[in-house]
């Protein structure tokens, strides 16, 4: 039924999580999962909010548009503060999108059998973070230029 004490001593032990040396390649894989969760959650919540705003009538839909679409054009008071909050959240979701996109490309290449060498894997992992940051900055600059009318 059970194992003897001697049988338990000879079993291989799995190393504790803190025994691993965490590298950028491990972080890229974990962040890929986290950004996928963030994108799915944000998309679901926005969809539910949009559908409930549509079903509640024109006033509710106008409120939805003022927060999400126009993002504070001609807004005052609490609406301005909450729109800044939504802008920051949108920036975070934009980063999550680009990080997930580039990390997904990295995983696609790895699924084809390339990039498993440690040096190559670390390099492409670093590139995913750099490209996600640069793409987010470019998207934010594009939106800022549109808002300023440049």
3-state secondary structure of 3: coil
Of the candidates 25, 30, 27, 31, the residue with the CA atom closest to the CA atom of residue 117: 25
Residue 72 pLDDT exceeds 60:
no
Of the candidates 9, 150, 38, the residue with the CA atom closest to the CA atom of residue 99: 38
Residue for token pair 């409930």: 52
Q: Of the segments 3-7, 39-43, 69-73, which one has the largest average pLDDT value?
A: 39-43
- Measured at the CA of 72, the angle between CA 70 and CA 76, to 5 degrees, comes to 145
Joined together, the tokens standing for residue 119 give 């040096």
Of the candidates 15, 19, 13, 28, the residue with the CA atom closest to the CA atom of residue 123: 28
pLDDT tens digits along 97-142: 999 999 999 999 999 988 889 899 999 999 999 999 999 999 999 9
> Percentage of the chain surpassing pLDDT 70?
77
Q: What is the pLDDT of residue 22?
A: 79
Cβ contact 115:106 at 8 Å: yes
Instruction: Count CB neighbours of 144 within 10 A.
Output: 10
pLDDT tens digits along 33-46: 999 999 999 999 99
Joined together, the tokens standing for residue 45 give 């919540």
So what's the architecture of 24-148 in CATH? Up-down Bundle (1.20)
């Amino acid at each position: 039924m059970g194992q003897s004490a001697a049988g338990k001593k000879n079993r291989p032990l799995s190393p504790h999580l803190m025994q691993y040396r965490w590298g950028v390649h491990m972080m890229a894989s974990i962040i890929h999962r986290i950004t996928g969760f963030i994108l799915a959650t944000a998309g679901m919540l926005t969809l539910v909010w949009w559908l409930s705003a549509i079903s509640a009538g024109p006033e509710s839909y106008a409120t939805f548009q003022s927060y999400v679409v126009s993002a504070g054009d001609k807004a005052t008071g609490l609406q301005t503060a909450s729109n800044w909050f939504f802008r920051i959240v949108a920036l975070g979701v934009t980063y999550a999108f680009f990080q997930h996109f580039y990390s997904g490309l990295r995983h696609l290449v790895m699924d084809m059998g390339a990039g498993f060498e440690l040096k190559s894997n670390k390099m492409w992992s670093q590139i995913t973070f750099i490209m996600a940051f640069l793409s987010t900055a470019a998207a934010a600059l594009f939106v800022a230029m549109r808002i300023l009318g440049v």
